[in-house]
Each structure stands twice: as C-alpha cells, then as structure tokens.
Amino acid sequence: MVGSHKKKKNLPIGSTFKLPAEIPVWPPGGGFATGIIDLGGGLLVSQITTFNKVWTIFEGGANNLGVTFFEPTGLSEGFFMLGCYCQPNNMPLHGWVLVGKDNSSLSNGALAKPVDYNLVWTTRSLKTKQDEEGYIWLPIAPDEYKPVGYVVTTSPEKPSLDRIRCVRSDLTDECTRYNSMKLWRTESKRFGVFDVRPMKRGIGAQGVSVGTFLAQSGGGTNPKPLPIVCLKNTKASFSYMPNLSQVEAMIKAYSPYMYLHPMEEYLPSSVDWFFSNGAVLMEKRKGVIGENAIRANGSNLPQGGSFDDGVTYWLDLPLDEAKRVKVKKGDLASAE
C-alpha cells in the first residue's frame, strides 16, 4: 500500500551529477569514444546515463532517504533495454546501464524477447512511504537465453514482452552480489536490492557489468547461481582503446599540474630512472624477505595477476645509503 506521508522535497536524487567541464571532443580514429562497443557474437552495447523515473520509496536505505528505480531513455535506433537502474536517494543521480543491439546474422540472435515474467516483489501490502506501488518483474528467458536485469513498473499488470531483451547464454557470464553496495532493503531485511558485478574479475576476465541491480528475497542469502547474469566480452578486441593521439589529448585535458617549491628537496623522476638508479623489488616468502634490483624495463616485476597467497611483493628504496638518498631526491629532467 502507499503509506501516507509528506513527500520529501529536494532529495539529492532529484539532481543529476555533472562533471565540472564538458568532455572534450577527442581526435578521430578507431573505435574509441564512439559510444558503441562490440562484445562479439553479434552483441553491440551502449552506455545510457539518461533515465525516466519509475518509482520512489522515501524511507529506508542510506540515510533513511529511500531509493528510486529508473528506466533508461534516449536509446539509439535498434537498441533495447536490458534492465532497469536503481539508486539510493542520498546522492545525485549519477549511474548508468548498458543497452543492447542485436547485430547477429545467426538464426538465434544475440538478443531475444522474454516469454513471460515472474513477479519478484511488490510494495502492494508494504506500509512504507512511497509515491506509488511498485512492482519488480524478472523476465523469463527463452531456451538458450538469460536475463541480465529486471523491469520495474507501478502496475500489477505484466509488462509488455517487447519492453526488455534477454541475452544469448554464450554471451553472458556469472555475476555475484556486491555486498558492500546494498542499495536498499526492507525493515524486516526479508527483501533487498543490491548491486552486482562479474564473479570473475581481473586480468583475462571477460565479465562485463550491465549496471542493473539484483532484487532478492530470503533475508540476505546469496543463492548460486543468481537469477540474473552479467555480459561477457567474447571479442577481446583492443580496437576500442584510444590511439596515441587520443591518449595525448586525454593527458592534455586531464593531467594534473604539479607546483614544486623552489627549495623542494625531493623531486619526481621517470619510471625508467627510478628503476635504473636503485629501486628494488622486495619479496616476502614464508617469512623470509628478499631484495632484487629492478630491470630498467621492469620485466622482472610480478606479472600475470595471479600470485601465491603466501608471497608478498612491494617496491622500496635501496638499502645502500648513498643510492637511497639519490633515489629519494629524484631527477626532474627525466620526468619531463
């Protein structure tokens, strides 16, 4: 039910976060900053940061200000919603979701309409301060497809099957609840809304966050697998990374200015100079600490993103006092 309340005005969520300056127009070339990324398998995605508000709860969650659910808007032609967005009301609107386009030539395309919906949760009988009754629907995907998000409405009627798209299973990856990002939950803690992220992360991982949320009953349990999944980057192409001219433009636009006092004793240096003049790689293995000189190109630094749990590495200054003082003082000329 809709609880009687005085509507809380001027909630932070009512404003939209904006950068202090407009994003520059980057030099052309390649797939960088085009607004669309090809994840492979015929799946194109685009990030949406403009939303229509669907439903607001005015209590609970962060600072007891509640939570708001949104639907992405302003989608380019051929793109479809993959899930709604949710954010606590204690911050300006700042989030995003991915939307998808089927660019596959296969009979079983990258995207498909759901065959039905399951009602996951509703506030119909919940005594809470809200602007309308809310309903969260989980799409039931056809065979060989999976949902990556939910549809949120203010009507008990099932949404149109054309409202959202499910993703072909081979283009998805398992996700997990992000426990530190609890978006909102009921006072009884029997239902919660959580942020999710790919289960496999790090170098070589293919999971891609969609920006949607997890709606979960059961007092905070984390069943496996979750009812929704993340996307998977099956193409692993670097064509969407910035080229040299674009990197230089970004450095010019965003690199910080450093002002040094005329009597400053400790100056910056280049990485090559730091390595070549005595910086050391420290290694602690089974309680024993070892010291190794670092090659100028850094080729003997730990690599691969996966290390033994019992081994710790860190960079340090050399033990030799003369070398230590030299490295601490740096070399400004090499830093240019």
Per-residue pLDDT of 215-250, as tens digits, reads 987 655 555 679 999 999 999 778 889 999 999 999
Q: How confident is the model at residue 305 (pLDDT cuts 50, 70, 90)?
A: low
Whole-number average pLDDT of the chain: 89
pLDDT digits over 16-68, tens only?
A: 998 888 889 999 988 899 999 999 999 999 999 999 999 999 988 888 899 99
pLDDT of residue 130: 87
- The domains of the chain are located at 12-232, 256-335
Q: Give residue 43's pLDDT.
A: 96
What's the pLDDT at 306?
57
pLDDT, average across residues 69-95: 96
- Greatest extent of the chain over all pairs of C-alpha atoms, in Å: 77
Grade residue 140 by pLDDT with cuts at 50, 70 and 90: very high
pLDDT at 93: 95
For residues 6 and 58, the answer to whether their CB atoms sit within 8 Å is no
* Residue range 97-120: mean pLDDT, rounded: 95
Per-residue confidence (pLDDT) for residue 218, from 0 to 100: 65
What is the predicted pLDDT for the residue at 257?
85
Strand bridging mode 145-146 / 116-122: unpaired
Written as one letter, the residue type at 196 is V
Best-predicted range by mean pLDDT (146-150, 173-177, 178-182): 146-150
Please report the DSSP string for 135-189 in residue order: EEEEEEPPTTEE--S-EEESSSSPPPTTS--EEEGGGEE-EEEEEEEEEEE-TTS
Kindly list the distances between the CA atom of residue 330 and the CA atoms of 122, 180, 268, in Å, as whole numbers in the listed order.
Answer: 62, 39, 5
* Average pLDDT, integer, range 278-286: 88
Residue 40, helix vs strand vs coil: coil
pLDDT of residue 312: 87
The CA distance from 274 to 268, in Å, is 9
When mean pLDDT is compared across 238-247, 264-273, 305-314, the lowest value belongs to 305-314
Q: Mean pLDDT across the stretch 307-330?
A: 86
Q: Among 42-51, 81-90, 264-273, 301-310, name the one with the lowest average pLDDT.
A: 301-310
Residue closest to 112 by CA, chosen among 166, 188, 69, 75? 166
pTM of the model as a whole: 0.77
> Is residue 4 scored above 50 in pLDDT?
no
Q: What is the pLDDT of residue 308?
A: 64
**Residue 149: per-residue pLDDT:** 97
Look at the block and give the residue holding tokens 């497809």. Answer: 145
Rounded CA separation 277/197 (Å): 41
Instruction: Tell the residue number behind the tokens 């996966």, with chain if given.
Output: 306
Tokens for 272, please give them. Answer: 């090559």
The pLDDT value given to residue 180: 61
